[in-house]
A and B are shown apart, each in its own frame.
Chain A
Amino acid sequence: MRNGPEPLLAARGLRKTFHGGAEPVHALRGVSLEVAPEEVVAIVGPSGSGKTTLLMALLGWDTPDEGEVVWRGRALPHLGSLGWDEVAVAGQRLGLVEELTVEENVELPLTIAGVEPHERAERVTQALEALALDSIADRVPAATSLGEQQRTALARGLVRSPRLLLADEPTSHQDAERKRLLFRRLDDHRSLGGSCLVATHDPDTLAFCDRIVRMESGALDERAGTAS
């Protein structure tokens, strides 16, 4: 646990055990974690350590067996009930709507929120340009590369400037140049007051993060992170 201002998100004692196989799998063993405003936190750990499960449990896509999630001082079952402007997601499975173009996918959270068309257009243009997606804006995801799809998902996650972005391996398909673009965009997000919780293996991402927490067999081993 770290000391500081009131955390944006605090997860306390999250436990999750899967019983599908011969032996129960303890995916989360009482995980507690805090993310402060304007903070980028990285979760690292080997495959199967529980990183994605932690993100899913926070979102409510996996129901924790035990534990508590506190959002801006308010206890919630999970973050699933919060709007895209509060908590957005860019998962490892991107979940882009394959019939929509890149631009429409990025615009979708704004369309659903009923944002005015001109404001929508402005924000989408900025989002696309920031991640070098403007040249492929009218393509459907299947006609783009995996890296472009990943950036599309990230642009969609950030388009409503959420307080917290949950991202799972957001740079796994990016080259060095695109990673820089991506970090710049996350930095902008942070500078605007946004936070980010990133599950990653990527050393470049770790270097960018404010703080790093390590997961091992479903348990958290927190240590101080380094600022980029």
Chain B
Amino acid sequence: MRVPLLWRLAPGVLFRFPRSAAAVAFSAGVVVLATILGPLFLASSERASLQAGMELTGPWEAGLQIVWRAYEYPDTPEEERRHLELAEEGRRLLAERVAGVPGLAAPTVTLLGGDGTARASGREAAARVVYRTRAYENVTVVEEGGEGVWIADLTARALRVEPGDTMTLTTPSGIYEARVGTIYRNLRDDEPREFWSPLTDWIYKQPESDAPPAPFVLVDLETVMDADRTAQIRWNIPLAGSDLAPEVLRRAAREFRDISRDVGRERAELGAALRDLGGFAFEPAVSTLLGGVLGTARDRLEASKAPTGVVAAAVRLLGAGLVVAAGLSLAARRRSEVRALIARGASPASLALRFAVEGVAPVFLGGAAGVALGYAGVRLAGASGAVEWSYVAGLADEAALAAVATLALLAVATGIAVAREERSFRARPARGRFVPLAAAAVVAAGGVVAYRALESISVAESDEPLAGSILLAPIGVIAAAALAGGVALRLLLPFVAASARERSTGVFLAAKRLAAGSGMTHTLVIVCGTALGVMFFGVTVASSVHRTATAKAKTFVGSDFSFGVTPNPPPLPPDLPFPATHVTKIQTYLEGSAQPVTVLGIEPDTFAAAAFWDDEFADEPLDELLPRLREADEGPFTALAAGFGEGAAPSLVGTDVPIEVVGRADAFPGMIEGQPLIAMTRESARRVLATGGSGIRSDLIWAKGDPEEVQETLLAAGQVAFEPLTVDEVLDSPTIQSLVWSLGLLGAVGALASATAVAGLSLYLQARHTAAQVAAAMTRRMGLPRRAELLSWVTEIGGAGVASFAVGAATGLVTASLVHDRLDVQPDLEPAPIFVVPVAVAALAGLAVAAVTALTARRLQKRMDRAAIGEIMRV
């Protein structure tokens, strides 16, 4: 069958209309981008969460560890031999089991001896006998000396021995004479190696211990039983690295689960083999942190799914709107051709199909650009930059489906345009106003439903994933409010026009054009208003939630970060390059009740600079409250009371020294969820315990700046500061992160939609004015001055822009104010939710609207200056 020429040419025709082709490609790109954005972001988010978890745990601790707990130790040479066989054969069996499993490295076996001592030359040092696969490869050799055990340089110095000397090891199972072979750098003093991380507790000093653990005496497998028969067998299967793909980690976790199950079951091959080798009572203890890492990532993913879905749906809706607009514009641009083809008997359906065929190449090009943009966007702005291209390629089916849907929508949009053209061509009566009114009624009803949903929004006291309604309901309310705003504007404009008639012809003409303009202008104003409203809502609530969460985290921590220090630390040096202060915290109870209370001992001189303070915390400034705290060896404690009712006189359990409240606050740095706080000087806090008070005391340094730098400086200054608690750690909650991200992305989508809608409004008004150039030329002939003409366009475009801005800002901010305090993730922690008005965003949006207005008006006037009116008049 011969295909008609028009159809044969169709696939390439659209490229002869570059603007239309670009519009179709752009809209397809947005639809495809929206389709892959959600899965890509979720993959990125999961990957980032897994990376963070893996960085925290490391490949060894996230790996599998099996500890063979023997109730009886080998007593005879035969039992010793079997014990060694169990250790090595177990490692071999596990190695066979994990061979070929991606992401898993070769297992190791460790025989960890008990606390012991080493003696030589009348000197004694703590020592622990250890055998570990590849141990010798994972230490720094200080001095080599042939055969013999490997001892730490610390031990060698303590015993004053060198390679070749002899020493005596006393272990829980007896005494063993050993030749010193090699001296290595004590692991505690050496650069930390992941290899040793499963034995961290036996290498580094623990907070609860008075002394550091005994250095290892590294021995080989044959020697270990002679030196310490009580050595505990530990097998480790590490992960191959910290930066493994999610599916590799999930596969590893499944393998670990299977191994754990089999080790515990007598009938499983692995379990039976180990029992057979062990031959005596045992209880294997299996552990891995990988499940926790994956679980945290899963929680975070679940928390993000619903809002991500809503945001993706919003972008898809935007894309669909763009496709429809591109289709309508395409048909309008080729109106003459459409009319000619209709006159030759073409049906709207066949023309729509031809437009769809024309759109195939631009849609797929745009779709490919959307995929590339999505990938680049997630790499640049996603939670993790490491989403594999293979994962993106896996979304090809969905992207292709979105492209096909775009073509279908393009066909529908062009079909509608062609049908309308056919109707006007054949002078069929147009339909009435039923459809817009019905649409308005549906949107208004939707607005009511959305508002009801808005009222039920809450994330407090819930670990559930975020519901989509958190984003969906506000969008509904904003859309309905924007619609109402658009209608109000339409009702208001005739009055504006009437009042401007005698004052300014330019404003009068602009108001008339806006008031009597086609439905498209008002639709665009409503769309712009909705988009701006969504932007304002997203940005406002995201900023408010983040600011509130940060303020709560800082209140909880007390400052940017808090270090634990040993009791009664020396005073802080006066010349520290960062604000820091010592505090003493006592967790105790109020007298006569079970109400826990925090007693905070502070140093008034340094507290104000180092502690986090928000002026909302108290009616009086901190600078006025602190000087009221006095130190006294006797008499009442002078204190500031935070979180108590007005007039309350707190007294502490155990001590009969009264508290004189010299100032009150609603919140105070260091406050814990649900607990009031009493702040006094550190000396007074010590007196609380000295005068019979009880409670758990901790000494802390609060500081601002870079935690690592501060910690180094403090260590250099003789302050023993443990790992800090930072505000970021407190903020690292899936709910907070998910809320801030989702709302921030919603704001970004709103900004994108706003930019598109404002550009659309500007282009539409430009097109309308181009079509009305004769009227404009006539108006000029009538004597309308150029300034009044420019004012008229500025007023019209700016009026539409300002109306959109006002509707958007008002609906977005009002909706945000209704919602933000419902999104308080930690309602029991002070301060109360903070509402942040995004002034900078508002100013930027306002400037953008002003710039678009000025540029469009200027462009219109230039276009009018260049217009060949004579030619137009002759047509």
Contact = CB atoms under 8 A, between A and B. Distances in A.
A125 to B, nearest CB: 17
Contacts of A113: 782-783
Contact of A89 (B505, B513, B781): B781
A61 B782 contact: no
B737 to A, nearest CB: 51
B774 A100 contact: no
Nearest to A82: B781
Contacts of B509: 97, 99-100
B870 A56 contact: yes
A104 B781 CA distance: 16
A52 interface: yes
B505 A59 contact: no
A104 B497 CA distance: 12
A56 B516 contact: no
A55 to B, nearest CB: 8
Interface in B776-791: 777-779, 781-784
Interface string A84-111: 1000110111111111100010001101
B234 to A, nearest CB: 85
| The 9 residue pairs across chains A and B that have the minimum distance between CB atoms | A62-B870, A56-B870, A95-B778, A95-B774, A99-B516, A61-B870, A61-B869, A109-B782, A95-B775
A88 B403 CA distance: 55
Contacts of B686: none
Interface string A110-130: 011100010000000000000
B784 A112 contact: yes
Given A59-B781, A84-B781, A97 B775 contact: yes
A98 B783 contact: no
Interface in B850-875: 868-875
A185 B869 CA distance: 28
B156 to A, nearest CB: 97
Contacts of B875: 93
Contact of A112 (B512, B777, B783, B870): B783
B781 A98 contact: no
B68 interface: no
Nearest to B516: A99
Given A99-B512, A99-B516, 6 more contacts: A62-B868, A84-B781, A91-B873, A93-B774, A95-B778, A112-B505
Nearest to B513: A99
B501 interface: yes
A62 B875 CA distance: 14
Interface in B744-792: 772, 774-775, 777-779, 781-784
B790 to A, nearest CB: 15
A83 interface: yes
Contacts of B779: 97, 108, 112
Given A80-B781, A98-B772, A104-B512, A111 B505 contact: yes
A92 B870 CA distance: 11
Contacts of A95: 774-775, 777-778
A140 B502 CA distance: 21
Interface string A182-212: 0000000000000000000000000000000
Nearest to B512: A99
B872 A93 contact: yes
B872 A112 contact: no
A28 B772 CA distance: 27
Given A99-B515, A99-B517, A140-B516, A93 B873 contact: yes
24 contacts: A53-B870, A53-B874, A56-B870, A56-B874, A61-B870, A61-B873, A62-B868, A62-B870, A83-B783, A91-B873, A93-B872, A95-B775, A96-B775, A96-B778, A97-B778, A97-B779, A99-B513, A99-B516, A100-B512, A100-B516, A108-B779, A108-B782, A111-B505, A111-B508
A62 to B, nearest CB: 3
A75 B194 CA distance: 97
Interface string A51-66: 0110011010110000
Nearest to A107: B501
B800 to A, nearest CB: 14
A22 to B, nearest CB: 18
Given A56-B873, A97-B509, A111 B777 contact: no
Interface string A39-80: 000000000000011001101011000000000000000001
Interface in B646-698: none
A117 B778 CA distance: 22
Contacts of B501: 111
Contacts of A57: 870
- Residue among B501, B502, B782 with the highest chain A CB neighbour number at 10 A: B782
Contacts of A59: 781
Contact of A84 (B782, B868, B870, B872): B782
A91 B869 CA distance: 11
A52 B874 contact: yes
Nearest to A83: B783
A84 B775 contact: no
Contacts of A84: 781-783
- Residue among A89, A96, A97, A104 with the highest chain B CB neighbour number at 10 A: A97
Contacts of A108: 779, 782
Nearest to A85: B783
A56 B512 contact: no
B85 to A, nearest CB: 97
A53 to B, nearest CB: 7
A80 B774 CA distance: 14
Nearest to B869: A61
A56 B774 CA distance: 12
Contacts of B502: 117
A79 to B, nearest CB: 9
Nearest to A79: B781
A99 B518 CA distance: 9
- Residue among A93, A96, A99 with the highest chain B CB neighbour number at 10 A: A99
B163 to A, nearest CB: 101
Given A53-B874, A92-B873, A98 B775 contact: yes
A99 B782 CA distance: 17
A139 B481 CA distance: 31
Contacts of A61: 777, 868-870, 873
Contact of A109 (B517, B783, B872): B783
